[in-house]
Amino acid sequence: MLRTADEELTIDELAARAGVTVRTVRFYSSRGLLPPPRLRGRLGLYGGDHLARLDLIRELQALGFTLSAIERRLERIPADASPDELALQRALIAPWTNEHAEDLERHDLDRRRHLDDALVEQLIELGILQRIPDSARLRLPSPAMLGVGLQILDLDLPLEMLLQAKGIVEQHTAQIAEDLRELFAANVLRPYVERGRPEDERKRVRAATDQLRPLTIQVLVNGFQRAVNDVIRDHV
């Protein structure tokens, strides 16, 4: 939805459009996460920039940012940033998956497949399930990975081997992600910022950000497949 900074919304309308409560809007405002409304007499009016900031806050929360971390992030964004600029900020930090973590009771998990305690513990060790502190519930960070994890455990391979494999994958994928982030920042984001964030470049940077996600995933998958083929050829 196109959002313009000159939209005029009451706090009730802003909350309804953003999908939050009026109390939440007031709380964010009190913490400095939202700029003050524009006043018309005694009536405070909000605009597309406030909506865009609420979208950005929700995206940061989805990534697991604490309130303090969100405050630090928003402190680096000018108070008069336009909805387009805020939309670009949101695109830069948007999760690369549409999956949402699920918090489950043990019986919810058993409805999908009956799991004994030992199997649950193995899934926790592999990071597919997580314990929720001070709760009997379990968190499933990636619902799609539950089936994958169960298939892996069905192979009846040594758990120590699986944990080592997990560590190898996490180590190298984290390094790839960091290297690619720095490459994109150095060649796209920093030049854009150094040129004063020109409006005519904003859409190009945002489009590049959006399109890079699926392209990068495809390149990584294909690159890994070729690497495996090379290893097989060299060692067989």
Q: For residue 82, what pLDDT is reported? A: 84
Q: For residue 1, what pLDDT is reported? A: 46
Specify the amino acid at residue 5: A
What are the helix (H) ranges across the chain?
11-18, 22-30, 48-62, 67-75, 83-93, 106-112, 117-125, 143-154, 159-184, 190-194, 199-235
The share of the chain scoring above pLDDT 90, in percent, equals 43
Q: For residue 203, what pLDDT is reported? A: 84
CA dist., res. 73 & res. 57, Å (int): 10
Q: Is 1 helix (H, G, I), strand (E, B) or coil?
A: coil
User: How many angstroms separate the first and last alpha carbons of the chain?
Assistant: 55
CA dist., res. 35 & res. 83, Å (int): 13
Q: For residue 135, what pLDDT is reported? A: 85
At 100, is the pLDDT very low, low, confident or very high (cuts 50, 70, 90)? confident
**DSSP state string for 101-131:** -EEE-HHHHHHHS---HHHHHHHHHTTSSEE
C-alpha dihedral, 190 to 193 to 194 to 196, nearest 10°: 170
Specify the amino acid at residue 209: T
Specify which of 28-32, 90-94, 210-214 reaches the highest per-range mean pLDDT: 28-32
Whether the CB-CB separation of 83 and 77 falls below 8 Å is answered with no
Average pLDDT over residues 118-142: 91
6 pLDDT higher than 70: no
In this prediction the pTM is 0.67
Any bridge partners for residue 46, and if so which?
A: 9
